[in-house]
Amino acid sequence: EDQVTQSPEALRLQEGESSSLNCSYTVSGLRGLFWYRQDPGKGPEFLFTLYSAGEEKEKERLKATLTKKESFLHITAPKPEDSATYLCAVQLTSGTYKYIFGTGTRLKVLA
Amino acid sequence: GAVVSQHPSRVICKSGTSVKIECRSLDFQATTMFWYRQFPKQSLMLMATSNEGSKATYEQGVEKDKFLINHASLTLSTLTVTSAHPEDSSFYICSARVEGGPINEQFFGPGTRLTVL
């Protein structure tokens, strides 16, 4: 069965304290892995797409990496405005372009 | 680019009434749109895939007669919650996939908060 798991479920960081969020997946065939940020009461905001193992993408304080089994979202020197829920989703090679979402990581960055 | 809108953003209705939610891709065409629901502190659960000009594909356990989906144009999909009950109260989010090229990302609308009294 195709599955996506995110850890930790929740994370509290001090401002400037770097950390990583994990997205592990077990799927029949990976077309792509996607990272989103979601603020309370809003729709997810697209961050990154990763297609193959070894690929990396960066945007400001965020860096996403991909291996054959998992993806990491590294947050360097976070600021309070980085507080949000971070979601990863996988898209399979078979069938439609639908996503399988992970459960998300709720990040709180304290000033 | 790749902006998706939803209307209304918030709706409160009485039990037994029907509610229609619109999802529009504002600056691109979308043959395929997706409808999700999200409960507090939970992730997004895919309800159905909306296909322009054809019937929607529903996920297992989602009642197609209760959640009616119409995708009549390349920029508009609607979700109608029929005979709504309090347990249908949730945050409903749509997304659209940009057609053509190598891009596979889905872009999400801002969501619709449905409260059924």
Q: Do B106 and A42 touch (CB under 8 A)?
A: no
Relative to beta strand B90-97, strand B106-108 is antiparallel
Name the residue type at position A40: P
CA distance linking residue A18 with residue A57, whole number of Å: 17
pLDDT on residue B72: 84
Q: Do A46 and B46 touch (CB under 8 A)?
A: no
CA distance linking residue A11 with residue A47, whole number of Å: 19
Judge whether residue A39 has pLDDT over 70. Answer: yes
- Beta-carbon contacts of B10 under 8 Å, excluding residues fewer than 6 positions away, are B112, B113, B115
Task: Please report which confidence band the pLDDT of residue B1 belongs to, taking 50, 70 and 90 as the band edges.
Answer: low
B63-84 tens-digit pLDDT: 999 999 999 898 999 999 999 9
CA distance linking residue B41 with residue A109, whole number of Å: 18
Query: Best interface-test mutation with A: which of B58, B104, B107 has the largest number of A CBs within 10 A?
Result: B104
Q: Which residues of B touch A45 (CB under 8 A)?
A: 108
Quote the mean pLDDT of chain B.
92
* A110 burial type by CB count under 10 A (0-12 exposed, 13-18 middle, 19+ buried): exposed
